[in-house]
Amino acid sequence: MSHARNRTARRTARRTERRAGRARRATATRLTAGQPARRHAGSRGRVRPPGRAAHRRALRREAPVVVGLLLDDQDFAAMTGYRTFPHDDYGRYLRQIDHLLRSLHAQGTHVAVTLFDPEGYADYCQSTRQPPDTPATRTRYVAEATTAGPAVRYARQPLAAVRGDLAREADRRATWEQATDLLVDAGPCPDCGQDLAHCAFDRASHTLLRLIEAVGPGSHHVVCSLPTDGGSSLLAAVQVDAPPPEGHEPRARPGEPGDLSFSEADALVVCTVMAAGAATSRPGGLVVRTVTGQGADRAETVRGWTLRGGEPYPLSEAEVFNAYCTDAVTGEPVPPEPGVRYAAGLPLPPPLPGDTR
């Protein structure tokens, strides 16, 4: 009898073990199907809250990235003197920059490309006493010193366009800084006692509007030049689109730009250069290239003025032609541009009250 009871007990234990195994396998199947696992309060494992990865990706998309770019091969050659600078070929460097910009843009990241100036970098390292031959210092330079300088927003445009826009932005910034320095040194206004820079800039802004009113509707490319002590000239340009008045409505008066379309940053630099000429009594020049009509009715006209004391005085047709059709270096005649009419500058509308010194 005892042997029979033992066999019965062993069979019962095996059946219990088989049932427990089936239960464990069923539980494992439910867990792999996505049913949540229950953990004891003291368990070390934790279930990650849903959405955490999505939140991090959203934060990365909203974190802007600034990329410093060596604009030309001369700047690149200056950086190859550093042992830790990892590039040795400018063309390959540009291709890697292009790939980096495209990758960042594909991730939804806002990317700005700024100018990496080797001379500015050397000054930065010297003033901050940081070792120049380290990647960390180059990173800090881009983050700290270049963000206030010229920059271009990257929107998947070709790298050649980025470099061109960045070069123009750098030239515009340098021109504005030089003209501003001339204004700062001008002292007080002899008429009102305020800063002459403030008065000269207001007058230049009104003069630009008077100039656009004089040439009338069209697409105008305005260039202002001012000689400097170094023999070169400050050059600033702005594109102003002036649509024709609708119906018989009167045209906007100076100081009331109406529907004029222009870049405020470009207009700021042009007005600053004009103001510097007025404040320093340096003779300057203004040229306006106007395009009107389209197709067979398209017309292109170039007019010019000389700036004396900040006031434009019209040039004659012959003076405008000679200025454009004479080589500035050799003095030899240059063929006129096809389809371009060279015309005398137009008298400007009278200045606003308080515009004269």
Q: What pLDDT digit, counting tens, does each position of 46-98 carry?
A: 656 667 777 776 676 677 899 999 999 999 999 999 999 999 999 999 999 99
> Do 270 and 238 form a contact (C-beta atoms < 8 A)?
yes
**Cα 155 to Cα 105: distance, rounded to the nearest angstrom:** 7
Look at residue 15 in the predicted model and tell me its pLDDT. 58
| Whole-angstrom distance, CA of residue 27 vs CA of residue 22 | 9
pLDDT tens string 124-156: 999 999 999 999 999 999 988 777 788 999 999
Model confidence at 35, pLDDT cuts 50, 70, 90, reads very low
Residue 116 has pLDDT above 70, yes or no: yes
- How do residues 241-280 score in pLDDT, each as one tens digit? 998 876 544 444 433 445 889 999 999 999 999 999 988 8
In the chain the beta strands, taken as DSSP E runs, fall at 65-69, 111-115, 151-154, 218-227, 233-242, 261-262, 284-292, 299-308, 311-314, 340-342
**The whole model's pTM is what?**
0.72
Mean pLDDT estimate for the chain: 82
Helix%, strand%, coil% for the chain, nearest 5: 45, 20, 35
DSSP state of 326: B
Q: Is 274 exposed, middle or buried (0-12, 13-18, 19+ CB in 10 A)?
A: buried
What digits encode the pLDDT tens for the residues 281-338? Answer: 888 999 999 999 888 888 999 999 999 988 999 999 999 998 888 776 677 888 888 8
Question: What CA–CA distance (Å, rounded) separates 24 from 10?
Answer: 21
Report pLDDT digits (tens) over 199-255: 888 899 999 999 999 999 999 999 999 988 877 789 999 999 998 876 544 444 433
DSSP for residue 106: H
pLDDT of amino acid 91? 95
- Report the pLDDT value the prediction gives residue 16, as an integer from 0 to 100: 58
- The contacts of residue 163 (CB under 8 Å, 6+ apart) are 69, 71
